[in-house]
Amino acid sequence: MVAYFGINAMKFGVLNFPGSNCAEDCFHVLDKVVNQPTRYFWHQETNTTDLDAIVVPGGFSYGDYLRPGAIARFAPAMDALKEFVEKGKLVIGICNGFQILTEAGLLPGSLIKNKSVKFLCQDQTIRVENAKTPFTQKFHKHELLMTPIAHNEGNYYIDDEGLAELEAHHQIIFRYASQDGTVDDSTNPNGSVSNIAGICNKSFNVLGMMPHPERNAESLLGNAQGIKVFESMILSFTNSGN
Partner 1 sequence: MKPLWKEAGLTQKEYDLLLQHLGREPNPTETALYGVMWSEHCGYKNTRPLFKNFPTTGPRILQGPGENAGIVDIDDDQVITFKVESHNHPSAIAPFQGAATGVGGIIRDILAMGAKPIGVLNSLHFATPKGKGHTKWLISEVIRGIGDYGNCIGIPTIGGEVRFAETYRGNPLVNAMCVGLMNKSEIQTASAEGPGNSLMIVGNLTGRDGIGGASFASKELDETNQEDRGAVQVGDPFMEKLLIDACLEVFAKDFVVGVQDMGAAGIISSTSETASKAGNGVEIDVSLVPTREAGMSPAEIMISESQERMLLIVKQGREDEVNAIFHKWDLHAVVIGNVTNDGFLRVKEGDVTVAEIPAASLTDAPIICRVGKVPDYLSKTQSFDESSVSLPDDMNATLQKLVSSPNIASRRWVYRQYDHMVQTNTVVRPGGNTGVLRIKGTQKAVTFSTDANGRYCYLNPKEGSKIVIAEAARNHIASGALPIAVTDGLNFGNPEKPEIFYQLEQSILGISEACRVLDTPIISGNASLYNETPDQGAIYPTPVIGMAGLIKNVEHITTKPFKRAGDVVFQVGDFSNEIGASEYLEVIHGKISGDVPKIELALEKRTQDFVLNAIQKSIINSATDIGDGGLAIALTECLYETKFGASIEIPESSYRLDALLFGEAQSRFLLSVAPDNMKTFQSYAEQSNIPISKLGIVNSSGNLRVRYQGESVIEQDVTTLESMNEATFPEMMR
Partner 2 sequence: MIKASVTVMLKKAIFDPQGMAVKHGLDSIGFKNIDDVRVGRQIIIQIDSNDFGHAEEEVKEMCDKLLANPVVESWSHTLELMQ
d(CA 38, CA 134): 19
212 binds partner 1 (CB under 8 A): yes
CB of 240 to partner 2, least distance (A): 32
Q: Which stretch binds partner 2 (CB under 8 A): 22-30, 68-76, 194-202, 213-221?
A: 68-76
Bridge-based pairing of strands 120-128 and 144-151 is: antiparallel
24 near partner 1, judged by CB under 8 A: yes
Asked if 82 is part of the footprint of partner 2 (rule: CB under 8 A), the reply reads no
Helices of type H across the chain: 23-28, 76-86, 96-103, 160-168, 227-239
Residue 168, binding choice from partner 2, partner 1, none, Cβ under 5 to 8 Å by partner class? none
| Total residues at interface with partner 1 (CB under 8 A) | 31
Q: Tell whether residue 150 is a contact of partner 1 (CB under 8 A).
A: yes
Q: Does 61 bind partner 2 (CB under 8 A)?
A: no
- Residues labelled as active-site residues: 95, 212, 214
For 233, the 3-state DSSP assignment is helix
Looking at the DSSP bridge assignments, the partners of residue 151 are 120
Residue 46 CB, shortest distance to partner 2, in Å, is 15
Q: What phi and psi values does residue 92 have, to the nearest 5 degrees?
A: -120, 130
| Bridge partner list, 91 | 54, 206
What is the CA 73 to chain-centroid distance, rounded?
16
Residue 131 or 146 having the CB closest to partner 1? 146
Contact partner, 115, from partner 1, partner 2, none, Cβ < 5-8 Å per class: partner 2
3-state secondary structure of 208: strand
For residue 160, what are the contacts with CB-CB under 8 A and spacing of at least 6? none
Beta-ladder partners of 149: 122
Consecutive H or E run containing 14: strand 12-16
Give the shortest CB-140-to-partner 2 separation in angstroms.
Answer: 33
Q: Does 21 bind partner 2 (CB under 8 A)?
A: no
Q: Report how far residue 199's alpha carbon sits from residue 218's, in angstroms, rounded to the nearest whole number.
A: 24
CB 72 to partner 1: min, Å: 12
Contact footprint for partner 2 (CB under 8 A): 62-63, 65-67, 70-71, 74, 102-103, 109-110, 112-117, 155, 157, 159, 191
Contact footprint for partner 1 (CB under 8 A): 18-19, 21-22, 24-25, 28-29, 32, 58-60, 62-65, 118-122, 148, 150, 152, 212, 214-215, 217-218, 220-221
